[in-house]
């Protein structure tokens, strides 16, 4: 049986970091207006919207590279908790039209980030 926990950790890191990074790149090109509007609707300062660049650009790069991986994963987890709190609380117990959890994507990012926090980067990483 082929077993390589470090390769598995790399695959998880590349998946989490790569998929979240697409969201960050979109915000780099299109701005954070939606996040600002969500913050304003909750009575929060809109300047906080720029934190999404930390959670969706910087943190995914940290996870992808294996550089301070646990900190990067923590930042992603915090980003997802904020996103769920601002936008998705009404869907926490809902199913999608296809029968899955309405928050599958957000749940995936949150729980995989938590897994990376506990697992660490594995052997295939930048040294930090």
- Exposure of 127 in the CB half-sphere (CA atoms within 13 A): 0
Once rounded to an integer, what is the mean pLDDT over residues 11-36?
97
The whole-number pLDDT of residue 90 equals 86
Does 1 score more than 70 pLDDT?
A: no
Determine if the pTM surpasses 0.85. yes
Query: Does the structure show a pLDDT above 90 at 99?
Result: no
SS3 content of the chain, % helix, strand, coil (to 5): 75, 0, 25
Q: What is the pLDDT of residue 84?
A: 95
pLDDT band at 3, cuts 50/70/90?
confident
pLDDT at 128: 59
């Amino acid at each position: 049986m082929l077993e390589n926990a470090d390769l598995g950790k790399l695959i998880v890191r590349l998946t989490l970091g790569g998929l979240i990074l697409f969201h960050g790149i979109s915000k780099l090109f299109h701005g954070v207006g939606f996040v600002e509007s969500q913050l304003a609707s909750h009575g929060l300062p809109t300047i906080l919207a720029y934190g999404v660049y930390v959670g969706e650009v910087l943190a995914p790069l940290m996870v992808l590279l294996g550089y301070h991986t646990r900190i990067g994963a923590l930042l992603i987890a915090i980003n997802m908790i904020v996103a769920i709190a601002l936008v998705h609380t009404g869907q926490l117990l809902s199913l999608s039209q296809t029968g899955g959890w309405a928050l599958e994507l957000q749940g995936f990012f949150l729980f995989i980030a938590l897994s990376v926090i506990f697992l660490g980067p594995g052997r295939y990483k930048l040294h930090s």
